[in-house]
Amino acid sequence: MSTTQQGNVRDFRARKRRLLPRCESPGRIFHARSSVLTAREERLTDSAIAEILADVLRYDNGRRYELHCYVLMPDHIHALLRPLPRGDGFVPLSEIMQALKGVSTHGVNRLYGQRGAYWLEDGYTRFMRNDRGYCATWRYLRANPARAGYIRWGGDWPWWWDWR
C-alpha cells in the first residue's frame, strides 16, 4: 500500500471515529483525555496555563462532576471524574468536556493574545467498569509523567491532583 493510500485510510478511520456515537453511562466514573492542537506552542505545564486549567477543573467540581484526579502533561490532560445527577439524568460528559475546553481556550487565548482553537476536537473517554479498572487507570495516570521521562519514578509531579 502506498503512503498516500495509508494516509487516506487513516483519514477515513479518523472521520469514522468522529461520527460514532459517544458512550454515556450515567453514574459511572470516566477516564477522559484531551489533547492540545499540535500547531499551538503553549504547553499545559506552563504555570499560567496549568493554573487556568486547575481553576476550571475546581470550579466545576461539585457543580457538574465529582473530580477524582487529574494530571496535566505538556500536550494533554487526563482526568477521572463522575458526572453529577441533574434533573432526570446526569450531566452529559460532552457538556463537561465542552465547558473545560471552552473556558480554558478563552483563558489561554487571552493570556497569550491568540485566537482560535486550542484543543483537538476529539478526545478519549472510557467509563470504569469496576474497582480494578479504576485502580489500574488511577495508577496509569499517576505514573504518566515518569513514563514520559519528566520525573523519576516515585517523584512528585506539580501538575498532578488527587482528591484523597
Helix (H), strand (E) at residue 120: strand 119-127
Of the listed ranges 4-18, 39-53, 121-135, the least confidently predicted one is 4-18
CB 101, CB 57: distance < 8 Å: no
CATH of residue 33's domain is: 3.30.70.1290
CA gap 133, 131 in Å, rounded: 5
pTM of the model: 0.82
SS3 content of the chain, % helix, strand, coil (to 5): 40, 25, 35
The single residue listed with the C-alpha cell 506539580 is 158
Contacts of 163 (CB under 8 A, 6+ apart): 67, 68, 69
Q: Which amino acid is at 125?
A: T
pLDDT tens per residue, range 76-116: 999 999 999 999 899 999 999 999 999 999 999 999 999 99
Banded pLDDT at 48 (limits 50, 70, 90): very high
In the chain, the number of structural domains is: 1
Domain extent at residue 35: 3-162
